[in-house]
A = this chain, B = another copy of it.
């Protein structure tokens, strides 16, 4: 009985997790609910006992990831540390999420445009808020002479998107560890390519 309940509660998670893999592989628009059902191991109609719509799955994936970012940046802002360390913490956050749940991060990055209203607008607002807070940390870092003077938006977006490739390249069988990956990316972004 208890195991039955647990199985049922877990099924929704299984569906969302498999959906993340599927959407990452094929793209949201090209993935069908029948594809998803096959991966989960049930008939297509059965999926709908656990979720309301294909849309809802995308929402769940995108807002979970967005929530992760937003909740962590508050902590980083409040830490008593240098701006260099705050930016390092943000880079670290993005790499960690990417390594821990590459599929969901990839889907959020690639398919958030397929969100339907009003969720699309809410997502955009969340993202803009996050970006504004990150931009402010860079701005303050420049003001405190920790960072070189430069266009704040350019710096922020360059850092944010520079981590996206990890999705395509990194897998646990690589000879490089997450720690090394993080160190190399952070060094490159903070100190540059040049010797």
Partner-B contacts on A (CB < 8 A): 25-31, 84, 87, 110-111, 113-114, 138, 141, 145-148, 150-151, 153-155, 157-166, 168-169, 176, 180-181, 184-185, 187-195
Partner of A193, one of B26, B110, B159: B159
Contact assessment for A161 and B159 in the assembled complex, using a CB-CB cutoff below 8 Å: no
Contact assessment for B157 and A194 in the assembled complex, using a CB-CB cutoff below 8 Å: no
Give the oligomeric copy count.
Answer: 2
Contact assessment for A191 and B194 in the assembled complex, using a CB-CB cutoff below 8 Å: yes
Known: A157-B169, A184-B151, A184-B154. A26 touches B114 (CB 8 A): yes
Contact assessment for A25 and B188 in the assembled complex, using a CB-CB cutoff below 8 Å: no
Taking CB atoms, residues of chain B closer than 8 Å to A155 are: 184, 188, 193
Assembly CA distance A159 to B155 (angstroms):
13
Taking CB atoms, residues of chain B closer than 8 Å to A189 are: 158, 188, 192-193
Assembly CA distance A186 to B93 (angstroms):
24
Assembly CA distance A91 to B181 (angstroms):
22
Contact assessment for A165 and B161 in the assembled complex, using a CB-CB cutoff below 8 Å: yes
Taking CB atoms, residues of chain B closer than 8 Å to A29 are: 26-31
Assembly CA distance A76 to B155 (angstroms):
26
Contact assessment for A145 and B195 in the assembled complex, using a CB-CB cutoff below 8 Å: yes
